[in-house]
Each structure stands twice: as C-alpha cells, then as structure tokens.
Amino acid sequence: MRAVRYVLLVTLALNLLVAGAKLVVGHMFHVVSLTADGVHSSLDGFNNVAALVAMTFAARPPDPSHPYGHRKYETFAAIGIGVVLLTVGVGVVREAIGRIGATTEPITHPATFAVTLGTLGVNVWVARWEAARGRALGSELLVADAHHTASDIGVSAAVLAALVAIALHARWLDFVAALVIAAIIARAAYAVLASGIRVLSDAAAVDRARIEAITRGVEGVRDCHHVRTRGPEGHVFVDLHIQVDAHLTTAASHAIAHGVADTIRAQIAGVVEVLVHTEPYDGAPDSGPIEAAPIATPADGPPHSK
C-alpha cells in the first residue's frame, strides 16, 4: 500500500504541473482543444487525491465487520474515476459546441506546441510506469488510473493535430479535435467502469479450468468441482470442492486440502485465500448442493469441520 501511495503522489504532482500549463496556455491563445485537455488533466489530479483517500480505507486489515478485508474501497475509487471521466467527456463536448460561431480565433504559438509536446511525453512515461507498477503490485486502482493516463496520450495527440490545423487556417478542426478528445475519454471511462463492475458483481476472477487443472495435479485428489473465484486483481478469493478416497482419515484429508490450497496460491499470483471443501470420492463428481460439503479447510488457518 505504501508503494501504491508513492506512485499516486508522483502521478498527482505531474498531473497538476501539466494541467496548469495547458489551462494557462489554452486560455491565452483561445485553443479550445488545449483548454479541454487542461480540464482533463485537472480532473486527473482530483482522481489521484480521491484514490489516495480510498487507499487509506483499502489498506485496513480484515475486521469482524469486514472479514474479507477492505480492498473493494479501491474498486469504488476506480469506478469513481470512470464516472468522472464520463462527466469530463460531456463537458468537453459542451465546451466545443459553445465555441461554434464564436468571434475569437484560436492562435498558434510556439508555447502551445511546446506545452502539448511536453505533456505528451510526460503522459507516455506516466502511463507506462503506472501500469507496470499497478501490475507488479496487484493494484486495481493503479491499473485503472493508468488507463486514464493512457487516454491523455490520445488527447494530447488530438490537440497537436488541432494546432497544426489552426496553423493551416482550418479552425473547424479545433472543434473536431475536441470531439475526438471526448470520444477517447468515453472509451477510457467504459474500460474502467466495466472492470469495476465485474469486481462488484463477483464475476469470476480466475479461469475455472486453470484451477481445476492445478487441483487435479495435487497428489491425493481424485476429482474437483464447484470452483468459484471472486475479488479484484491482486486480492482474489477461491473456494472449491475436492474429492479424496473415502477410506482416508480426517487428518489425511485435511493434509491434501492444505496441499491444494498451497499449490493454488503458489501458482496463481494474487490469490490471498483458498477455501477447500473435502468430500469422499464416489467415482463421480457430486451433483448435489454445494452446502453438502462435510469438511472445510481454509488455506490460512487450521483445519476445522463444517
């Protein structure tokens, strides 16, 4: 969590720097696409602050009221980023339409090109670095924010194209560039919201076939079924049923269950807990309700009966 906070603080500082430059230069030279890009970057900074606040809650350990931990606060923050992105996209469209018929002409200046090229370079570096750190740390929030930052690359490229068009006296392309920016923002918002909704709706976090293959490779396991997974990237919960020979003692069955849990956590990054239900093998997978499991073994605690 400390590493995630560090990434967010660095990203926040850079977002504020480039946002200020784009807003000032965009207003000075009446370039609507550059001003819209500045608003976008300003909201990037807001999102970083919101993410830092969310991380304070997400870092809390499990407690009686949140036995699975608090990592979904990170998902809530990611969805908030998506909502803000959609809002910004609508705002950009309104700003562009409001400039139609305006008497003020956009002006090209070396400063507009310098700011756009400079922020483009910053965005490329930040997007790659943040995405890499998000994957390494298993942080859904950093990955979502990296998607957001990556959208800035397309936005800055559209602004650069608009500046060239303005220099060629094609003012209408500034309006078109603003609409392209809105479309890029909307696409990024969709990606972030879709990912967050998958987590909140408890969509499968790991391919079931992969877990079944790993489980059946553990010595003593005759079969497995009822595999379920959920949770955000880097904080996945797994539960499944395994079948073992009926003549085994309870201690032997539990040892096999612990072996399954340890193997799954070792081979699948991001799995934090595995709950294994042990059943006697009868020659075919059990088709009854999943509540019928006689024994349950959590991966991070001592065996117990259910």
* 188 and 229 within one domain: no
Q: What is the pLDDT of residue 38?
A: 80
> Residue 289 pLDDT > 70, yes or no?
no
Going by pLDDT thresholds of 50, 70 and 90, the confidence category of residue 104 is low
Q: What is the pLDDT of residue 303?
A: 44
Select the more confidently predicted residue: 94 or 198.
Answer: 198
| Averaged pLDDT, 190-210 | 87
* 136 and 61 within one domain: yes
Q: What is the pLDDT of residue 202?
A: 84
* 121 and 33 within one domain: yes
User: What confidence tens digit (pLDDT) does each residue in 142-151 have?
Assistant: 887 787 777 7
Residue range of the domain that includes 131: 2-200
Q: What is the pLDDT of residue 221?
A: 94
* 170 and 51 within one domain: yes
> Residue 287 pLDDT > 50, yes or no?
no
Q: What is the pLDDT of residue 212?
A: 94
Look at residues 200, 226, 247 and tell me which one is the last residue of a structural domain.
200
User: Among 92-106, 170-184, 278-292, whose mean pLDDT is lowest?
Assistant: 278-292
Look at residues 150, 173, 200 and tell me which one is the last residue of a structural domain.
200
* 261 and 117 within one domain: no
Q: What is the pLDDT of residue 138?
A: 78
Select the more confidently predicted residue: 37 or 236.
Answer: 236
Select the more confidently predicted residue: 302 or 262.
Answer: 262
| Averaged pLDDT, 82-109 | 72
Q: Please give the tally of structural domains in the chain.
A: 2
Going by pLDDT thresholds of 50, 70 and 90, the confidence category of residue 103 is low
Of 144, 150, 139, 149, the residue nearest 55 (C-alpha): 139
Look at residues 200, 230, 265 and tell me which one is the last residue of a structural domain.
200
* 20 and 118 within one domain: yes
> Residue 161 pLDDT > 80, yes or no?
no
* 170 and 28 within one domain: yes
> Residue 165 pLDDT > 90, yes or no?
no
* 109 and 90 within one domain: yes
* 11 and 156 within one domain: yes
* 192 and 158 within one domain: yes
* 126 and 44 within one domain: yes
CATH number where 232 lies: 3.30.70.1350
| Averaged pLDDT, 27-55 | 74
Residue-averaged pLDDT of the chain = 80
* 231 and 294 within one domain: yes
| Averaged pLDDT, 211-232 | 92
Q: What is the pLDDT of residue 106?
A: 66
